[in-house]
Amino acid sequence: MREVSPLVKNCVAVTGKIDAARSMLFVHGFGTDQRVWADIASEFRKDYRLILCDNAGAGHSSPDFFVASRYQTLHGYARDLINICDSLGLRNITAVGHSAGGMMCLLASIARPDLFSKLVLICASPRYLDDAGYHGGFSQADIQSLYDTASQEYEEWANGFAAQVMQNPERPELARRFAGELKAIPPHHALTVLCSILQSDHRQELNKVSRPTLLIHSAQDLAVPRSVADYMRREIPASKLEMIDATGHLPHVSAPGQVIDAMRRFGL
């Protein structure tokens, strides 16, 4: 495939205060796209240049750009973020990433610390699989069961997965919307992304982060237990952990005000 601009490949949108000295880059997690940031981004539009993007193969990014060999690990996505920032000539960036998107931001900041000033990682995890002395939240049997179900009946799996990770059963419209976004992803792409996320282990890279980092975690999150949040706080230098009064793995959707308040307390 011919080389395409990162801005086209990742459907980059630049909004907010276009001439601002500070930029804020938003990176979504699995199953969503840049639209998921609407409530959060609007809060910062007067003070920051806002950069929103779709990860390769997600949202309005063409499935043709999703090359499985590039995205078998999160490093491929991190390279995409760096390419976006370089294409726009950005510096002094606060990177805001959810879940796997948070780890993409973290990896990009390690590779190119000159681009970034701060990180905000929402419900991120360096490893989901349990290990000796480490509770990631999933056993190997859990992950295999997830793969098997998603492979056999993707739409049914998407409905159940969305409800499970969104939680907030009193607001079923949130899970329905998330399930719809999951179903829009070609199943074979979704399985590749799930594998790159659930089999990843970035614990050894946490202490390489050189930028002030805010860790935002929900008080109740079935995908990322409190033990992971505490682990990241210990391992990432100059990091601050905010446990917010929210339920579910997508608090920027279910409790955007809590996320914004935490970001404001971080000096943003």
pLDDT at 2: 60
- Cβ–Cβ under 8 Å, residues 128 and 197: yes
Buried b (16+ CB within 10 A) or exposed e, 192-208: bbbbbbbebebbeebeb
Q: Which residues are known to be catalytic?
A: 99, 221, 249
Task: Give the torsion through C-alpha atoms of 151, 229, 243, 218, to 10 deg.
Answer: 10
> Is the domain 6-127+202-265 a CATH 3.40.50.1820 member?
yes
Interatomic CA distance for residues 171 and 248, integer angstroms? 12
Taking only the tens place, the pLDDT of each residue in 58-73 is 888 888 888 877 888 9
Calculate what percentage of the chain has a pLDDT beyond 90: 87
Give residue 188's pLDDT band: very low, low, confident or very high (50, 70, 90).
confident
Calculate what percentage of the chain has a pLDDT beyond 70: 99
Interatomic CA distance for residues 162 and 149, integer angstroms? 14
Q: Which two tokens stand for residue 54?
A: 């779709």
pLDDT at 57: 84
Average confidence (pLDDT) over 110-122: 98
Taking only the tens place, the pLDDT of each residue in 148-160 is 999 999 999 999 9
Taking only the tens place, the pLDDT of each residue in 47-59 is 999 999 999 888 8
Instruction: Using the Cα atoms of residue 227, residue 38, residue 167 and residue 165 in order, give the sign of their dihedral.
Output: negative
Taking only the tens place, the pLDDT of each residue in 223-264 is 999 999 999 999 999 999 999 999 999 999 999 999 999 999
- Cβ–Cβ under 8 Å, residues 49 and 80: no
- Kindly tell me if the per-residue pLDDT of 1 is higher than 90: no
Mean pLDDT of the chain: 95
251 Cβ contact partners less than 8 Å away, ≥ 6 residues apart:
122, 123, 216, 218, 244, 258, 259
pLDDT at 251: 98
- Beta bridge pairs of residue 247: 220
Interatomic CA distance for residues 11 and 129, integer angstroms? 32
